[in-house]
């Protein structure tokens, strides 16, 4: 019997939280402008609880709640991970 590990490609990620619109990376802004991600309650003065919706090409949607991570894979695929799963699967790359 052999032991294996998951090969995880590098990903880009942003956490759903208040103020995320002020410090978002360019890829996130591009996805929002393209209509693939919509969000509410993320501004510093917003009254709503922060949340986002990922709009998939199939027409389906994925909801992201406050604290969740939106991940964009090298392929361009978007996914949402809860904080505990995200922390178990990914580690920050120091550049």
Kindly calculate the radius of gyration of the chain based on its CA atoms and give it in whole angstroms.
14
State residue 55's pLDDT score.
96
Q: Give the pLDDT band of residue 94 (cuts 50, 70, 90).
A: confident
Distance CA 16, CA 13 (A): 10
Q: Give the pLDDT band of residue 46 (cuts 50, 70, 90).
A: low
State residue 31's pLDDT score.
93
Residue 70, CA distances (Å) to 3, 14, 23, 56, 62 in order: 30, 5, 14, 13, 10
What SS3 state is found at 75?
coil
User: Residue with structure tokens 């509410």?
Assistant: 40
Distance CA 31, CA 26 (A): 9
What SS3 state is found at 87?
helix
Prediction pTM value: 0.83
Q: Give the pLDDT band of residue 44 (cuts 50, 70, 90).
A: low
State residue 50's pLDDT score.
87
């Amino acid at each position: 019997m052999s032991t294996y590990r998951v090969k995880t490609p590098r990903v880009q990620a942003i956490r759903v939280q208040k103020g995320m619109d002020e410090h978002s990376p360019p890829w996130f802004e591009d996805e929002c402008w393209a209509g693939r991600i919509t969000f509410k309650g993320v501004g510093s003065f917003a009254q709503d609880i922060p949340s986002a919706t990922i709009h998939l090409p199939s027409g389906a949607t994925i909801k992201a709640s406050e604290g969740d991570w939106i991940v964009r894979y090298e392929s361009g695929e978007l996914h949402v991970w809860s904080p505990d799963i995200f922390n178990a699967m990914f580690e920050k790359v120091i550049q």
